[in-house]
Amino acid sequence: MPVLPDGWRLVALESVGSTNDEATRLADDGAPEGTVVWAREQTGGRGRRGRNWASPVGNLYSTTILRPACAAPRAVELGFVAALAVGDLVPAGRTVRLKWPNDVLVDGGKVAGILLESAIGQDGLAEHVVAGIGVNVSFAPQLPEMRYPGAALGGTVEAALEGLTRALAARMAQWRRDGFEAVRGEWLAKAGPLGAEVDVRLGEGLVRGRFAGLDREGALLLDTEAGPRRIVSGELLGRAA
Ligand code: BTN
């Protein structure tokens, strides 16, 4: 059985609909931060923007309960914390690129996806956040709707889970100690170069511009022909050749 950081607890399942749903149920019942739901396969894995996340045995599917005790809008910061944690897993010698908002690319292919879901209390604080992370370990499902291919990390699912939970615990500690500014700085250092030409999908539409950074609320900054734009929800596509 994988070994988790001190104080963390593993809920290991053979098969589940979605680890995010199971983690949300446990969080609603009061499970503490550091509870990790891990399944060998998911029968209803969910991605961002209502997509499916193909989840057969062989890759990592886990969701961690976080209790950040921050104002609800700040919960988005944890997506960048989680992306840095996934980047920490990648062996030296391979190139990590973080893509807004939460994608992790290795040698140009998407290796992981992150799906955050929050419960907001009546006091306006994030009561809990479940951080669902899928990591391609032994194979890379094709992503027909993406402009970049999939990539796989290699190694075992157990080793990936141990590495991921260790990295997530360390990155959460960094976020609590140093705040989002430190996370934002490290995320920007691993993101595409400023000035790179990108397209961003917003619903059905596409906005073209140059990557201009990440603001203090986690929004994407873009320089477009019509002037600067700040985008809070969308999908960065890179520029088709
Ligand atoms: C994305 O669209 O890039 C996000 C994919 C997130 C997939 C993970 S796998 C574990 C957790 N359970 C789910 O149903 N989704 C997330």
> Across the 241 residues of the chain, what is the mean pLDDT of every consecutive 10-residue run?
96 98 98 98 94 95 97 96 97 93 92 96 95 96 74 96 98 98 97 89 88 94 94 78 40
Residue of 95, 147, 137 lying closest to 112 (CA atoms): 137
CATH number at residue 202: 2.30.30.100
222 CB-side CA count, 13 A: 25
How far apart are the CA of 22 and the centre of ligand 1, in A?
13
The finding on whether 40 has its CB within 6 A of some atom of ligand 1 is: no
Please check whether residues 171 and 227 belong to one and the same domain: no
51 CA closest ligand 1 atom index: 2
The finding on whether 79 has its CB within 6 A of some atom of ligand 1 is: no
Please check whether residues 102 and 210 belong to one and the same domain: no
Please check whether residues 152 and 225 belong to one and the same domain: no
102 CA closest ligand 1 atom index: 3
Q: What is the pLDDT of residue 145?
A: 65
For residue 172, the enclosing domain spans 9-189
How far apart are the CA of 223 and the centre of ligand 1, in A?
30
How far apart are the CA of 230 and the centre of ligand 1, in A?
25
CATH number at residue 108: 3.30.930.10
Could you tell me the strand order of the sheet in which 103-106 lies?
A: 9-16, 35-42, 60-66, 126-135, 109-120, 103-106, 96-99
Please check whether residues 120 and 201 belong to one and the same domain: no
How far apart are the CA of 89 and the centre of ligand 1, in A?
17
